[in-house]
């Protein structure tokens, strides 16, 4: 290496060069961006006086600041060929950075659009969207060039092809994106969000973050924000998801046109589950106060208002219902301040809508360092949703082995191959009997992924969603652009079966566990393993040891699958639970027997 060094002369005058900035970069009209974000991003954060933070001294950071970065790091970015597009919206579903989005455009929006938008639109397909125009739009300067969208495109002739960034800039695609992303409404109420196409029209409230190109974790977070983002609160464990989720001063969690979005906070690595549970307890305490006020003052309220109070109390744990009720209730409250209790409710108006509490982190947190707390929170019965982004390795800190790592995998601390099997977090949670559990893989089935996440959020109790997340640390053959194919193979070969465990079915005498993936083709298992450096590198350095450990890897997967299969076929007809003991005597007798 030393023999190859070449001295490069540096012109001393370069030290005095000034930054070149466009008019838009010089001023965007936002105090937080101007005072805080720009100096820090320009590596001048150490020059900020304390006075710059006045107004932000409570520690909050403004949402949606990543939209101002426009890093332009994608050497190659996707180009949309509208004539080949079948309008499936799968590209938007897989995009890790939410830079590619489908738009439904009405007449007025189209008339005000740049000519380069007007020249490249299609008639929207589907009776629900009849009369609207359809366009896939990429924001080139926010794209990382991961290529996942082009790989997932199912069109016979690809409707997305990778081209040099400069080519898309010359076609004014960034100007098109700026118009569509900011001026065109997200018409997400026309089609059901339980489909890939329908959810694609919803605004992602998580965008333009700094995760690795092709990251397998972030599409899950983007999906959750599309479904529940306007009422979400997130407790985020330290790890990859906290780094790309909130690297000061940039915040990828953003807001919709109503100013509603994700409230996000990062806790310590070891106590994130408790952190999220505490958030939920605090919020529900305030919501109980609303209920108390309504019950106390309902008789003194006009009939219409009293009816809304009753409706809210019945549906207070339903996000969609409380959203609808709040829209009707708020104007009435604001116009009737003299009615007893109204001012008290208005002081708590932010809590009228049921919050969607999420606890997010990686496998290092959930399986290892934070497991004790996670187990405590799941056992508490609190209505929280846990999303585990499972990469089977400590990704953020350089790739150390975790309890989620499998036999034969190479990582730090298991350089000669991990000898032990993977911890089965989902099965552990199922033993409680009252926890909703889902193991999902968006690369195997986008539809099942949407349904599982929606069902987990709707469940009135603790839910655990374990998501298969391809990672750059896996060393996937061909790179992360092909992580979709590898992810699909993971479920197909039996490495990552998908299922849903819904405790509500037990009360109906039905089996709570449903396998959502097909019977595995175990003959593909070795092909899956050898497509990744974390497994094939041991094969090169110690073939005999590798054969033993990879055989164990497969045997462990087969054992886990048999275990799941047996449970999914079990008879639960005698498990029907009565809502309450028939009498006090029955209750005491039951206690004595126990």
Instruction: Compute the average pLDDT of residues 206-228.
Output: 97
3-state secondary structure of 216: coil
**CA separation, residue 320 to residues 19, 191, 327, 355 (Å):** 48, 16, 11, 10
Q: What is the DSSP string of 446-475?
A: HHHHHHHHHHHHHSSS-EEEEEE---GGG-
Q: What is the pLDDT of residues 370-414, one digit of tens each?
A: 999 999 999 999 999 999 999 999 998 888 999 999 999 998 889
Among 176-180, 187-191, 318-322, 581-585, the range scoring the smallest mean pLDDT is 581-585
- Tell me the angle at which helices 272-297 and 303-314 cross, rounded to the nearest 10 degrees: 150
Q: Look at residue 240 in the predicted model and tell me its pLDDT.
A: 95
Residue 456 has pLDDT above 50, yes or no: yes
All structural domains of the chain, each given as residue ranges with its CATH number in brackets, are 23-60 (no CATH), 356-575 (3.40.50.970)
10 Å CB burial of residue 8 (0-12, 13-18, 19+) is exposed
User: What value does the mean pLDDT of the chain take?
Assistant: 93
**pTM exceeds 0.85 for this model:** yes
Query: What is the C-alpha separation between 352 and 326, in angstroms, rounded?
Result: 6
Please check whether residue 433 is in contact with residue 204, taking contact to mean a CB–CB distance below 8 angstroms: no
Element (H, E) at 290: helix 272-297
As a whole number of angstroms, the distance between CA 232 and CA 230 comes to: 6
- Range list of β-strands (E), 255-377: 263-266, 356-362
Lowest-confidence segment of 34-38, 90-94, 357-361, 466-470 by average pLDDT: 34-38
Radius of gyration (C-alpha) of the chain in whole angstroms: 26
Look at residues 562, 559, 567, 484 and name the one whose alpha carbon lies nearest to residue 519. Answer: 562
Alpha helices in 359-431 (DSSP H): 363, 371-380, 425-430
Give residue 383's pLDDT.
96
Least confident of 240-249, 286-295, 557-566: 240-249
pLDDT score, position 21: 61
Which of the four pLDDT bands, split at 50, 70 and 90, describes residue 443?
Answer: very high
Residue 458 has pLDDT above 80, yes or no: yes
d(CA 594, CA 400): 45
279 vs 234: CA distance, rounded Å:
9
Please report which confidence band the pLDDT of residue 52 belongs to, taking 50, 70 and 90 as the band edges: confident
Which band of pLDDT confidence, cut at 50, 70 and 90, is reported for residue 580?
very low
Q: How far apart are alpha carbons 279 and 246 in whole angstroms?
A: 18
Concatenated DSSP letters for 402-413? -TT--TT--BBT
Mean pLDDT in residue range 253-277: 94
Residue 28 — very low, low, confident or very high, per pLDDT cuts 50/70/90? Answer: low
CA 257: distance to chain centroid? 20
pLDDT at 527: 97
Backbone phi, psi, residue 89, to 5°:
70, 15
**Beta bridge partners of residue 389, listed in sequence order:** 362, 467
pLDDT of 515 strictly over 60:
yes
* Distance (Å) of CA 290 to CA 202, 275, 278, 286, 357: 30, 23, 19, 7, 19
Determine how many CB atoms are found less than 10 A away from the CB of residue 338: 6
How high is the pLDDT of residue 588? 44
Partners of 122 in the beta sheet?
A: 134
Contact 476, 532 (CB under 8 A): yes
| Residue 592 pLDDT exceeds 90 | no
Count the alpha carbons within 13 Å of 507 in the hemisphere toward its beta carbon. 7
Q: How confident is the model over 6-35, as a mean pLDDT?
A: 79
- What is the C-alpha to C-alpha distance for residues 73 and 283, in angstroms, rounded to an integer? 40
- Once rounded to an integer, what is the mean pLDDT over residues 240-258? 93
Determine the Cα angle at 191 with ends 188 and 195, to 5°: 100
Residue in 225, 266, 236, 234 with CA at minimum distance from that of residue 248: 266
Instruction: Supply the DSSP symbol for 364.
Output: I
351 preceded by cis ω (within 30°)? no
Predicted pLDDT at 25 = 58
pLDDT confidence of 587, banded at 50, 70, 90? very low
Give the helix, strand, coil percentages of the chain, each rounded to 5. 45, 10, 40
Mean pLDDT of 81-86: 96
Q: Is the pLDDT of residue 474 over 70?
A: yes
pLDDT at 585: 46
pLDDT in tens, 101-151: 999 999 999 999 999 999 999 999 999 999 999 999 999 999 999 999 999
């Amino acid at each position: 290496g030393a023999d190859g060094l070449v001295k490069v002369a540096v012109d001393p005058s370069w030290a005095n060069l000034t930054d070149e900035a466009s008019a838009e970069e010089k001023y965007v009209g936002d105090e937080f961006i101007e005072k805080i974000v720009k100096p820090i991003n320009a590596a001048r954060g150490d020059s900020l006086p304390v006075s710059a933070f006045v107004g932000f001294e409570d520690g909050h950071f403004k949402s949606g600041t990543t939209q101002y970065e426009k890093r332009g790091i994608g050497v190659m970015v996707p180009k949309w060929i509208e004539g080949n597009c079948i309008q499936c919206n799968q590209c938007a579903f897989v995009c890790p950075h939410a830079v590619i989005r489908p738009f439904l455009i009405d007449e007025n929006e189209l008339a005000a659009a740049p000519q380069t938008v007007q020249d490249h639109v299609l008639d929207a397909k589907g009776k629900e969207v009849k009369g609207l125009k359809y366009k896939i739009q990429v924001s080139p300067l926010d794209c990382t060039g991961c290529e996942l969208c082009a790989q997932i495109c199912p069109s016979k002739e690809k409707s997305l092809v990778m081209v040099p960034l400069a080519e898309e800039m010359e076609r004014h695609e960034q100007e098109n994106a700026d118009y569509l992303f900011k001026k065109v409404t997200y018409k997400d109420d026309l089609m059901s969000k339980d489909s890939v196409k329908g959810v694609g029209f919803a605004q992602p409230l998580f965008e333009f973050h700094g995760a690795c190109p092709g990251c397998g974790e972030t599409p899950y977070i983007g999906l959750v924000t599309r479904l529940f983002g306007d009422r979400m609160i997130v407790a985020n464990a330290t790890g990859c998801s906290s780094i790309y989720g909130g690297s000061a001063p940039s915040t990828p969690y953003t807001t919709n046109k109503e100013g509603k979005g994700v409230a996000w906070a990062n806790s310590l690595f070891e106590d994130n589950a408790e952190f999220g549970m505490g958030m939920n307890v605090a919020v529900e305490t305030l919501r109980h106060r609303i209920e108390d006020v309504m019950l106390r003052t309902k008789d003194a309220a006009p009939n219409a208002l009293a009816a809304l109070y009753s409706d809210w109390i019945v549906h207070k744990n339903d996000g969609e219902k409380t959203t609808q009720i709040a829209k009707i209730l708020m104007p009435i409250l604001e116009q009737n301040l003299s009615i007893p209790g109204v001012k008290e409710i208005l002081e708590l108006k932010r809590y009228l809508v049921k919050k969607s509490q999420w606890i997010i982190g990686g496998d290092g947190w959930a399986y290892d360092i934070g497991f004790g707390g996670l187990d405590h929170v799941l056992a508490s019965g609190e209505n929280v949703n846990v999303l585990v982004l499972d990469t089977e390795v400590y990704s953020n800190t350089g790739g150390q082995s975790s309890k989620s790592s499998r036999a034969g995998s190479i990582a730090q601390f298991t350089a000669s191959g991990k000898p032990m099997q993977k911890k089965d977090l989902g099965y552990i949670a199922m033993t409680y009997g009252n926890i909703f559990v889902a193991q999902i893989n968006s690369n195997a089935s986008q539809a099942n992924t949407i349904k599982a996440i929606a069902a987990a959020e709707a469940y009135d109790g603790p839910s655990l969603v374990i998501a298969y997340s391809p990672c750059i640390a896996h060393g996937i053959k061909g790179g992360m652009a092909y992580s979709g194919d590898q992810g699909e193979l993971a479920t197909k070969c039996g490495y990552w079966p998908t299922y849903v465990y819904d405790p509500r079915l037990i009360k109906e005498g039905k089996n709570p566990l449903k396998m959502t993936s097909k019977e595995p083709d175990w003959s593909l298992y070795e092909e899956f393993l050898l497509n990744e450096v974390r497994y094939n590198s041991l094969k090169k350095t110690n073939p005999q040891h590798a054969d033993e450990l990879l055989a164990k890897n497969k045997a462990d997967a087969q054992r886990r699958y048999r275990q799941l299969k047996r449970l999914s076929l079990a008879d639960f007809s005698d498990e029907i639970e009565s809502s309450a003991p028939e009498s006090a005597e029955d209750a005491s007798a039951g206690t004595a027997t126990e």
